[in-house]
Amino acid sequence: MRLAELQGELWGVGASDWVDVQQRTIRPASLAVLDELDPWRGGSLLDIGCGDGDFTNLASCRGAAVTGLDACAALVEVAQKKTPLGTFEVGDMEHLPFPDGAFSVVTAFNCLHFASEPACVIAEAIRVMRPDGYLVLATWGPPNECDAITYLLDLGGLMPPETSTASTSLDASDPHALDILVINAGLALIGHRVVSCPWEYPDLSTALRGLLSTGPAALAIKHVGRDRVCATITESIEPYRRNDGSYLLENTCHYLVSRH
């Protein structure tokens, strides 16, 4: 199975919980990007790894003509319903099904580390950008800025040995790896920003819904079973439980803005 097809299948397992709970954790970064690149009216946007279309919907509300691509058919279906006037496709981010120079802005939030060759994604993004276009890439912050690292490391320990380490050449724990990628691709780096993106849940049940909805969680469940994954995640997030039973994991998102 191709990597894009595998990721699409894994992210489809918990798609409804992702939409209801976990997607909102990246919204502060989405709003920061939209504010930075205003005005949007009349601009064309491609969001790679669009998920359930939260970012594209926000951009559409500001007047952008939006297109989204994701490997997960269930999430693409939700995105299309959110923004009926947008264009959404199931596909592989390393082989974008769009013509050269089609978009004024291309974005990719927290998805490049799921590509087998992140540099290919950058090259494809540049190909479909207009000559004066912008490329925005985002990733979660380094371990010292993200409480979620405990959850991610513990989850990694439950995955099959052949997938417990990343198959990509991108170090997901180093946000400046994105800077190097775009500079090596010949783009001008305009800025590197940091945005607070806390993961907050009112109770354990909601926290588990969100944290079990990701593709890596689906892979771990497939390997060791749901009960063990639930127990591991519950233990991982216990230090972030507040007196009222809610949970708060402080995290950052780093994003860069670059252009031709």
pLDDT at 164: 42
Distance separating alpha carbons of residues 122 and 142, to the nearest angstrom: 21
Q: In 3D, which of 60, 188, 66 has the Cα closest to residue 131?
A: 188
Cβ–Cβ under 8 Å, residues 200 and 4: no
- pLDDT score of 167 more than 60: no
Q: What is the dihedral of CA 177, 178, 183, 187, to 10 degrees?
A: 180
Distance separating alpha carbons of residues 48 and 74, to the nearest angstrom: 15
Q: What is the pLDDT of residues 230-241, one digit of tens each?
A: 999 999 999 999
What's the average model confidence in pLDDT over 103-122? 95
Please state whether the predicted TM-score (pTM) of the whole model is above 0.75.
yes
Indicate the CATH number of 3-140+164-197+252-259 among 3.40.50.620, 3.40.630.10, 3.40.50.150, 3.40.50.720. 3.40.50.150
Confidence class for position 1, pLDDT limits 50, 70, 90:
low
The domains of the chain are located at 3-140+164-197+252-259
- Paired tokens of 82: 């959110």
